[in-house]
Amino acid sequence: MKISIVIVNYNVAKYLEQCLKSVVKAIDGIESEIFVVDNNSVDGSCQMLQNLFPNINLIENVTNVGFAKANNQAIKQAGGEYILLLNPDTVVEKESFKRTINYMDSNPETGGLGVKMIDGNGNYLPESKRGFPYPIVAFYKLSGLSRLFPKSKYINKYHLGYLDNDSIHEVDVLSGAFMLIRKSVLDKIGLLDETYFMYGEDIDLSYRIINAGYKNIYFPKTTIIHYKGQSTQKGSLNYVILFYKAMKIFAKKNFSKSHARSFLFFINIAIYLRGFISLIHRTIAKLIYPISDFIVLYVSFAIFSPYWSKYRYNRPDYDFPAFYYHINIPIYATILVIYIYISGTYIRPIDIKKTIKSIAIGMLINLVLFALLPDELRFSRAMFLVGTVGTFTIIPLCRIALHFIDKQDFEIKSKQKRRTIIVGNEDECLRVNKIIKELDKKEIIIGYVSNISNNDSFFIGNLNQLKSIIKIHKINTVIFCEQDIPETIIINKMIQIAIKNIDYKIAPHHSHFIIGNEISNSISDIYTIDINSIALPRNKTLKRIFDISLSCILLICSPLLVFYFGRKIGKLIKNCLIVLELKKTWIGYNNIETDNDLELPKINEGIIFVASEIDLEPQQILKMNIIYAKDYSIFKDINIIFYNFSRLDS
């Protein structure tokens, strides 16, 4: 047996399926075996393996035993000359195993080998090659200084940024995402250390390989896709703490007591530095919108007021009293900011249209409160209106300015559909197009690209013209049909194109999902995963506030509404009281029977329903229920009430 491939899986069935498809192609002609150790997944991973890959050695754990222990379970049973530790969220080239095994065969001093990795957008992953996290190296990494000097031989020793990404190098640490090791070396140094919780197992194993007299080699003559490489949030404080815990185990195990103390001292300093920077960054990101809105509102009123008072009273020396500037304006601004907050307008990405709506409703609330003030505290209503109206322009402009300063933290919601092309043969392109339509994604299919040199009018070009097609048609997303295009070509194209902000996805054959940095699932899968918006505590509170507010307004206005509802005014009042008693909500799901076993988040029975049209098909009604639950906002309730006002007495 030449190679034993070990994959540890935990709830990533779709990635695992695509990974194994690429692995099966790559082991063609090689004496091999594949182990998948499942850590008690609940996403159907084991059933998928039994149905699609019955010849794979499956080890099913009844609990999540962790990465190290799961790998060790398979290694103990493996009979290969080489052991490959492979992540399930990877895609390998067809020649990956042949090239890496040939290198290992020709270089017996090599104990372990890693390869070049790219993420789902074709970007090089720096963890493909790493140095040992000695005290100062770990400090530079955890403090974030290494990111400021990516090519420095002294500051970026952790990711070895000074070494050429496309040349073979001897390195310290191999990535656990693809780690090829001689079985004889593992027999000598031992298996993975099971005391590590998360992160650090690969560092520890790499360290022991070198201490045993072998080399660790970075081998970029083959490349793999590692989808999760960019989504583990390695810049987050949580990752830093987990990394610190792993390094603490590593230091105590491999360094002397004095060196371990020095090591942990530097890491502690780095932790506090990164934590402080992270806290400041998150605080600024969270508060910058409400603070800037408050300032804009205050300045708008404060600047406009003197000019208005001079015009209104025709007295150049007239101005409002001091408490107007010190009390009234701050209260107006605070109320408006609070309403903008509870309406969900500060949720990223920012919705400019929703922001303007929130300002308008907040202004109406302020006007009502303004009318309730005693005469001595009330000033010009016209001044109040004009001062607020000015914010309709200034606040959205501030949002747009922040977006251009930092698009990651201050992203503006775009309703523009992503421009997508599908690469493959005609039948497969049409199949993938159908999947995209079912998903109801914000994508527009610009055209299809042939996987061969084809002049058929069905295609807008062929694979060799892909880079030009992306530029000319301003493409955002490229979907490769896995049946028609080898993984090697997909990976090479992702690297060669080198255009920023392009998403690359793979559509597996005979599967109803699309693989990328995030998986696009079938319609039932995507809704099952993402329906939680209306179930959030904040949205439950907003919906309840809306129900109570509408009931109170209708009861107060009932003497006037009798002219509209006539004899049914009694039923309207009864509905208001039922809603106030928490027995019903004004807007609820339509009750329908379908074959779909989807369970929507629980809300009270509605007085009126999300879908009011009587001639809709059950699937259409279900979809409207889903969209309401998935993307709930108080504005949806307002719109539904507006169009169904005559049914409030039902």
Q: Residue 380: its pLDDT value, please?
A: 60
Q: What are phi and psi of 153, to 5 degrees?
A: -75, -20
Choose between 572 and 250: higher pLDDT.
572
pLDDT digits (tens, 9 = 90+) for 542-570: 888 889 989 998 998 888 888 888 888 99
Q: Average pLDDT of 510-537? A: 57
Q: Residue 88: its pLDDT value, please?
A: 94
Q: Which residues, including other chains, have CB under 8 Å from residue 3's CB and lie 6 or more apart? A: 27, 30, 31, 32, 33, 80, 81, 82, 83, 84, 97, 101, 180
When the pLDDT of each residue in the chain is averaged and rounded to a whole number, the result is 81
Give the best-scoring range by mean pLDDT among 16-25, 117-126, 289-298, 316-325: 16-25
pLDDT digits (tens, 9 = 90+) for 43-79: 788 989 999 999 999 999 998 888 899 999 999 999 9
Count Cβ atoms below 10 Å from residue 256 Cβ, excluding itself: 9
Q: Residue 30: its pLDDT value, please?
A: 96
Q: Residue 394: its pLDDT value, please?
A: 79
Choose between 454 and 615: higher pLDDT.
454
Choose between 586 and 323: higher pLDDT.
586
Helix (H) or strand (E) holding 260: helix 257-313
Percent of the chain with pLDDT over 90: 30
Q: Residue 251: its pLDDT value, please?
A: 72
Choose between 467 and 643: higher pLDDT.
467
Q: Residue 527: its pLDDT value, please?
A: 31
| Side chain identity, residue 592 | I
For the chain, which domains are there? Answer: 3-129+165-254 (3.90.550.10), 282-405 (no CATH), 418-524 (3.40.50.720), 531-647 (no CATH)
Q: Residue 613: its pLDDT value, please?
A: 58
pLDDT digits (tens, 9 = 90+) for 337-377: 887 877 777 777 778 888 888 888 877 777 777 667 676 66
Let me know: does 354 contact 276? Beta carbons within 8 Å. Answer: no
Closest CA to 58 of 12, 7, 23: 7
pTM: 0.63
Choose between 49 and 136: higher pLDDT.
49
| Nearest-angstrom CA–CA distance, 583 and 546 | 15
Distances (CA, A) of 364 to 302, 304, 373, 469, 529: 20, 19, 15, 50, 38
pLDDT digits (tens, 9 = 90+) for 182-236: 999 999 999 998 887 667 788 889 999 999 999 999 999 999 999 864 334 444 5
